[in-house]
């Protein structure tokens, strides 16, 4: 059995097994074990791609190159550490009666199906299947968002379902339009939706059709990325679901959606031979950054606040991929990596903080450092890291992005800095009383598992000090793959 089949097969199998596993303790271990197997498979694939270049699997139906293998590895890693966090966290939720054993079973099964959908989307070579897998990921997570069955959770899940469903339907429309021009050249076959083949023939695709198609793809996949103004579902969905789900939604699914958008953009660039798609992406990215930074100030719920921070960072990455110079792509990829690590780590900490205080209301979370120092300091350091404080790698990637922007559009740097400064101020202002005040009398000590957070922050720190040579080569080759030539 090869590594590739192992990567896709494990989560499916684990999901089916978990659907019938009644014992909560055993289920959490199966969940972690399966994610570990996926991680091993992903690492193996990454090493192979690094060694020998792109892989085509199953007659070209699946395709792994420098760009997606790094996302596969990242997804597998964060998915694994999240299961480590999720074990004790969800058992606590079971003990306090927020979930029933039956719903916990649903949670574990859907978690694995969700991971499968992301792997499928990242590795498929077919634009149609890419769409199918993103929709599948939405469907798997809708039931996770509504897991607590409170009024808020159900309203959030409904909003998520409807807005993302409609959004992603538009992306399917865009895909159909691409197929309508590509099938005239490549015939009415799978080949006409196969990314590697389309990439080769992208010059021959009708530019006019591709532009119309891209408008739909942009709005469609942009909805899933959480770009403003299609972002309204995101804070609700990420805020109301169980914390491990918030961590993987913010840390992973947004990346996969952005990945899909960038894959489509490369084809459109090839067809139009202009920066048209890039400008559109940059605009959405910049708008998301600014609006989310302002919205951060008004948040009253800690998970919603960090969801808005995710929108802000996705805006930044989207902008980087729109700029699409090799340096900007490098910055975007690095930012994707560290944002996933740091943001999921923050959600782990936030989960513990909320369990300890019994609420997600920012105004009722106070004095974490006194009541539970590990959680309090974890939150402080995580927030500093995500706000772009050196030496964490978020600073490095933001700095690189500024440099790249300065080379192409110097005046935009001002807007970027403004957005980052506003977000920075909001995060510090909100975090300070939560960690430094006197702890309230309802604060309880809970069993907190801080290891995943330390690992994530440690990696972000390591990347901030020095990017290892192999990783830099990896980003370089991926960045070159995504780079587009302007003008012409």
Partner 1 sequence: MSAALLQQMVSVAAALLLLTSFALLAQRRMRALLHWFSAQGIILALATAMVADEANMPELYFSAAMTLLLKGIFLPWLTWRIVVRLGVHREVEQLVNISATALIGAALVLYAVHVTLPIIHFSHLVTRNAIAIAMASLFLVMLMMITRRQAVAQVVAFLSIENALFFTATAATYGMPLVVELGVAFDVLIAGLIFGLFFYHIRSSFESLDLHDMEHH
Query: What is the nearest approach in angstroms of partner 1 to the Cβ of residue 232?
Result: 12
Which runs of E-coded beta strand occur in 71-138? none
CA distance 378 to 134: 32
Q: Does 173 bind partner 1 (CB under 8 A)?
A: yes
Q: Which helix (H) or strand (E) holds 63?
A: strand 62-64
Residue 109 CB partners (closer than 8 Å, separation 6+): 15, 16, 18, 19
Binds partner 1 by CB under 8 A, chosen from 13, 24, 40, 169: 169
Q: Does 150 bind partner 1 (CB under 8 A)?
A: yes
The binder of partner 1 chosen from 5, 23, 101, 155 (CB under 8 A): 155
184 binds partner 1 (CB under 8 A): yes
Q: Does 149 bind partner 1 (CB under 8 A)?
A: yes
DSSP string, 264-291: HHHHHHHHH-SSHHHHHHHHHHHHHHHH
60 is a contact residue toward partner 1 (CB under 8 A): no
**Footprint of partner 1 on residues 207-226 (CB under 8 A)?**
208-209, 212
Return the number of the residue (190 or 408) whose C-beta is nearest partner 1: 190
Compute the least distance from the CB of residue 393 to partner 1, in Å.
36
Answer yes or no whether residue 179 interacts with partner 1 by CB under 8 A. yes
Tell me which of 129, 287, 394, 423 binds partner 1, using CB under 8 A. Answer: 129
Among 68, 81, 112, 146, binds partner 1 (CB under 8 A): 146
Number of residues engaging partner 1 in binding (CB under 8 A): 42
Residue of 177, 217, 253, 305 that binds partner 1 (CB under 8 A): 177
Q: Which is nearer to partner 1, 35 or 125 (CB)?
A: 125
What does the alpha-carbon distance between residue 259 and residue 64 come to, in Å, rounded to a whole number?
Answer: 13
Minimum distance between the CB of residue 383 and partner 1, rounded to whole angstroms? Answer: 31
Q: With respect to partner 1, which residue has the nearer C-beta, 9 or 165?
A: 165
The CA distance from 198 to 271, in Å, is 10
Cβ atoms of residues 121 and 256 within 8 Å: yes
Cα gap 181→179, rounded to integer Å: 5
Q: Is there binding between residue 128 and partner 1 (CB under 8 A)?
A: yes
Instruction: Rule CB under 8 A: say whether 56 interacts with partner 1.
Output: no
Span between the terminal Cα atoms of the chain, in Å: 47
- What letters, b where the CB count within 10 A reaches 16 and e where it falls short, cover 208-247? ebbbbbbbbbbbbbbbbbbbbebbebbbbbbbbbbbbbbb
39: its two tokens: 């991680």
Interface with partner 1 (CB under 8 A), residue from 16, 162, 451, 480: 162
**251 burial via Cβ count (<10 Å: 0-12, 13-18, 19+):** buried
Applying CB under 8 A, the residues found at the interface with partner 1 are 126, 128-129, 131-132, 135-136, 139, 142-143, 146, 149-151, 154-155, 157-158, 161-162, 165-166, 169, 172-173, 175-177, 179-181, 183-184, 188-190, 192-193, 206, 208-209, 212
């Amino acid at each position: 059995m090869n590594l590739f089949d192992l990567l896709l097969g494990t989560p499916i199998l684990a999901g089916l097994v978990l659907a019938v596993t009644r014992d909560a303790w055993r289920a959490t271990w199966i969940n972690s074990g399966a994610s570990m197997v996926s991680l091993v498979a992903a690492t193996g694939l990454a090493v192979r791609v690094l060694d020998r270049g792109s892989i085509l699997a199953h007659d070209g139906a699946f395709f792994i190159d420098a760009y997606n293998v790094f996302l596969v590895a990242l997804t597998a890693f964060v998915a694994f550490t999240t299961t480590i966090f999720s074990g004790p966290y969800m058992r606590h939720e079971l003990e306090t009666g927020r979930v029933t054993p039956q719903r916990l079973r649903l949670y574990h099964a859907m978690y694995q199906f969700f991971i499968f959908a992301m792997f499928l989307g990242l590795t498929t070579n077919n634009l149609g299947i890419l769409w199918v897998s993103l929709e599948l990921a939405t469907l798997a997570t809708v039931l996770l968002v509504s897991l607590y069955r409170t009024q808020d959770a159900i309203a959030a899940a409904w909003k998520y379902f409807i807005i993302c469903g409609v959004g992603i339907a538009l992306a399917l429309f865009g895909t159909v339009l691409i197929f309508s021009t590509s099938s005239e050249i490549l015939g009415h076959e799978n080949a006409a939706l196969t990314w590697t083949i389309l990439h080769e023939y992208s010059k021959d695709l009708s530019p006019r059709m591709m532009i119309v198609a891209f408008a739909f793809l942009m709005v469609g996949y942009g909805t899933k990325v959480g770009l403003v103004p299609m972002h309204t579902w995101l804070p609700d969905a990420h805020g109301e679901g169980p914390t491990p789900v918030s961590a993987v939604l913010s840390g992973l699914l947004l990346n996969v959606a952005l990945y899909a958008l960038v894959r489509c953009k490369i084809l459109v660039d090839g067809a139009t031979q202009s920066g048209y798609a890039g400008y559109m992406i940059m605009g959405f990215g910049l708008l998301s950054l600014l609006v989310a930074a302002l919205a951060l100030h008004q948040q009253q719920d800690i998970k919603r606040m960090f969801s808005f921070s995710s929108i802000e960072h996705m805006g930044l990455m989207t902008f980087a991929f729109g700029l699409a110079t090799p340096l900007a792509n490098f910055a975007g990829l690095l930012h994707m990596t560290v944002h996933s690590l740091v943001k999921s780590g923050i959600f782990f900490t936030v989960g513990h903080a909320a369990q300890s205080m019994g609420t997600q209301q920012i105004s009722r979370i106070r004095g974490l450092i006194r009541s539970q120092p590990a959680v309090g300091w974890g939150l402080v350091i995580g927030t500093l890291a995500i706000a772009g404080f050196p030496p964490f790698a978020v600073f490095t990637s933001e700095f690189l992005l500024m440099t790249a922007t300065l080379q192409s559009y110097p005046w935009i740097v001002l807007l970027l800095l403004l957005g980052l400064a506003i977000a920075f101020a909001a995060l510090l202002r909100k975090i300070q009383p939560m960690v430094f005040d006197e702890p309230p009398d309802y604060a309880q000590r809970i069993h907190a598992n801080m290891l995943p957070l330390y690992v994530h922050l440690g990696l972000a720190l390591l990347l901030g000090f020095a990017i290892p040579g192999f990783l830099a080569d990896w980003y370089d080759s991926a960045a070159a793959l995504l780079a587009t030539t302007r003008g012409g």
